[in-house]
Amino acid sequence: MKVLVSDSLENEGLEILKKAKGLTLEVKTGLPEAELCKAVADVDALVIRSGTKVTAKVLEAAKNLKWIGRAGIGVDNVDVEAASRRGVIVSNTPFGNMITTAEHAISLLFSLAREVPQATASMKEGKWEKKRFKGVELFGKTFGVVGLGNIGKVVADRGLGLKMKVLAYDPFVSAEKAASLGIELASLEDIFKRADIITVHTPLTDQTRGIVGKDAFAKMKKGVLIVNAARGGIVDEAALLEALDSGKVAGAALDVFVEEPPTPGSTSEKLVKHPKVICTPHLGAATAEAQLNVAIQVAEQAVDYLLKGETRNAVNIPAVPIEQAEQLAPYLTLAEKMGSFHSQMHPEGFDQVEVELIGEVATLITKPVVLAALKGLLTPSMSSETPVNYVNAPVIAHEKGIAVRQSQSIEAVDYASLIRIRTTKGGGSANSTEGAIFGKSGGRIVAVGNYRVEVIPRGTLMALSNRDEPGVIGSIGTCLSKHKVNIASMSLGRESQGGKAIAILEVDEPASDAAVKDLLAAPNILSVRQIRL
């Protein structure tokens, strides 16, 4: 498989890719979009830094692309939505430069608080302005950290070490978790009102763009300090410029800008030139240690994905902790097989899907199980040119207008763990399939609608609906024997004696159209479905 590295990468990372058996490495850096489109036409993986822009056009040209690896944290130079639609995994390296970036934010804060850059510039001009540069002490200040991810946690920890009172906002962190770190979890509004210093450490998304804006500045204390070493645009630059001019903000330290580099006359350039702003040219991850770490990590991730199928630090599929990966594996297999079985049992389709997880499975990371079921449900209706995977399954469902929901309960009833897939179309009656794990023997389908069965979801299955009358099973065997179709196993279920029943057969090879026609002509046979798993 072919790996293209389109931005500069340390030799240690390149060597990992070169030595991996089964991979071919190409290094082409600094390509404009048109040339990049040609270069990615036949690659399986693309390794980038911040320089390469992976647009929808580039993704369209990359017919074989399966994985994009970003040597660094931010993926705002990748059209993640377009990648997901095409089933391409996008991974980053969130741990390789987190210490370096956090340290840079703290160094900016120190420099801002004590006006180090301004004092340095003054001395280089031959001046000795001791009385001009009167800084502020960090000890005892209230430190507001917006975003308590990998970098935010390190920054908050350093703030605690400086004996500041640390407040943090992060909707994905519990108050208990924050308290265990010695941090007070607070609302954004609370941070804006109480903090003497505010630093941001979130990714740039539609939700975080301009999160520190005009309304936020209006709530802040007079003389607040602002630090942004995350992404340009999280802090509204026009609002910050206004707050600096009014004196509401005493100073700002910026490593990132909306325009990089700032263009003449832009708001970004006005901030760079502002006397109350200190700045650096996006140096957050610019240490030898960080660059080496992310190069090695992204190369190892590329090898692990392409040669072992292991995915780490993907931003467009749910992360699974290592300790749960082995536990989840049988549930993922079962859910996908159940989804495929269910979809082929009900070819009329669906516009509503519910995946219900009951018992022990509900205590695990459940999102991958739902994605596996959705992948199985959608695959039979898609062409081979549009393979469904964990990445694009939700996108395909959304584009088809299929509503997907999940529910879970840890209280098991009949089985230690149960997965139930239920679908409806146009508000009609629901169809359901249930499956359970049976120890080391793997997963089985245990119910189809109201029928209790026990079916191993594999190979070729035939599902027959029939009236519960004597001789039906014999006629099925006779008919298939006539057409040289061998039955490997059979599971029977019925609603009530003499009512409707179901027979699910595992056969060694698919039955011919003639065999299916003969089965349908047999007495008391109502329908025949042939299912391939």
Q: Which of the residues are catalytic?
A: 231, 260, 282
The Cα 421–Cα 301 span in angstroms is 33
Question: 10 Å Cβ neighbour count for 215?
Answer: 12
Dihedral sign for Cα atoms in the order 327, 333, 335, 336: positive
- Is the preceding omega at residue 261 within 30 degrees of 0, hence cis? yes
Say if strands 403-409 and 142-146 run parallel, antiparallel, or are unpaired. unpaired
DSSP state of 496: S
Of 153, 121, 477, 65, residue with least CA distance to 279: 121
| 16 contacts: CB under 8 Å, gap ≥ 6 | 296, 299, 300, 303
Q: Are 235 and 179 in contact (CB under 8 A)?
A: no
DSSP state of 362: G
Question: 10 Å Cβ neighbour count for 511?
Answer: 21
The Cα 398–Cα 71 span in angstroms is 30
For the CA atoms of 339, 341, 344, 349, what is the dihedral angle to 10 degrees? -30
| 473 contacts: CB under 8 Å, gap ≥ 6 | 490, 492, 503
- Which helix (H) or strand (E) segment holds residue 448: the answer is strand 443-448
The Cα 178–Cα 168 span in angstroms is 8
DSSP state of 347: T
Q: Are 434 and 418 in contact (CB under 8 A)?
A: yes
The Cα 478–Cα 51 span in angstroms is 68
Q: Are 299 and 5 in contact (CB under 8 A)?
A: no
The Cα 524–Cα 11 span in angstroms is 71
| DSSP one-letter string for 167-181 | EEE-TTS-HHHHHHT
C-alpha 114: how far from chain center: 40
Say if strands 89-91 and 67-70 run parallel, antiparallel, or are unpaired. parallel
Give the orientation angle of helix 288-303 with respect to helix 11-19, to 10 degrees. 10
The Cα 372–Cα 374 span in angstroms is 5
The Cα 503–Cα 497 span in angstroms is 14
- Which helix (H) or strand (E) segment holds residue 424: the answer is strand 417-424
